[in-house]
Amino acid sequence: MPKKDDELKKLANFFINVGELKNKKRKGWELRDVKNPETIAAHSFRMAIMAWVLGEKRKLNTNRVLKMSLIHDVCEVYAGDTTPYDKMLPKNKKKLRGLLDKWPRLSKKEKEKNFREKYKKEKKALQKITSGLSPNLKKEINNLWDDYEKGLTREGRFVRQLDRLENLLQALEYWEKGEKFMIEPWWIQIKELIDDPILLEFMNVLDKKFHKGKK
């Protein structure tokens, strides 16, 4: 059937494009000179498992949280990975270390501007990567991504928080292995961001597990 063959060819291209995330390292770890930093795909993989298991405890739509976790960074194939420090990166390596030791503070106006610019860039990239897909699949992926970005539903808000929690977990793992960076910025961010009850409990478990009463 020529129509199905054509659809599968376009899907093959989509899968090949998405597969690029298996080669793209996460920018935050590269900035911190982490040895063998994880890829964007690796982050999405564990995030999907966490979303499924923890989401079920909150009686969320598992199908939705799983799909959202899997596609939430797909736009980065073209848009690239970003960090909260991107607009203020110095060229001097010593100054960079100093910058990364603290959670970046911005005015509300700056935050809004940055969010809108990032959203626009990533939305364009997502539309590009999904351009060859069937109208229904393209619509589904774009709607899931929008929900995640804007926290439109319970699932969207949960996955958005989980994204940061998985990142915290990875940071703690690297930090415990002896990678040389300050862990404080992650804790500062997470306490301003998480409000889901199960994720708050999980955050406390990580606190006890990795800090074991040490400062």
Binding site for another protein (CB under 8 A): 61, 64, 102-103, 105-108, 111-112, 114-115, 118, 134-137, 140, 150-151, 153-154, 157, 183-184, 187-189, 191-195, 200, 204, 207, 210-211, 213-215
CB of 187 to another protein, least distance (A): 4
CB of 86 to another protein, least distance (A): 13
CB nearer to another protein: pick between 22 and 117: 117
Give the Cα separation of 164 and 196 in Å (integer).
12
Helix/strand/coil percentages in the chain, nearest 5: 70, 0, 25
Q: Supply the DSSP symbol for 83.
A: -
CB of 77 to another protein, least distance (A): 21
CB nearer to another protein: pick between 45 and 142: 142
CB nearer to another protein: pick between 22 and 113: 113
Q: The tokens of 23 are what? A: 């080669």
CB nearer to another protein: pick between 57 and 102: 102
- How many CA atoms, within 13 angstroms, populate the side-chain half-sphere of residue 130? 24
By residue count, the chain amounts to 215
**Burial (CB count within 10 angstroms: exposed 0-12, middle 13-18, buried 19+), residue 199:** buried
Q: Give the DSSP H/E element, type plus range, for residue 53.
A: helix 40-57
CB nearer to another protein: pick between 128 and 157: 157
CB of 182 to another protein, least distance (A): 10
CB of 112 to another protein, least distance (A): 5
Yes or no: say if 172 and 206 are a contact pair by the CB < 8 Å rule.
Answer: yes
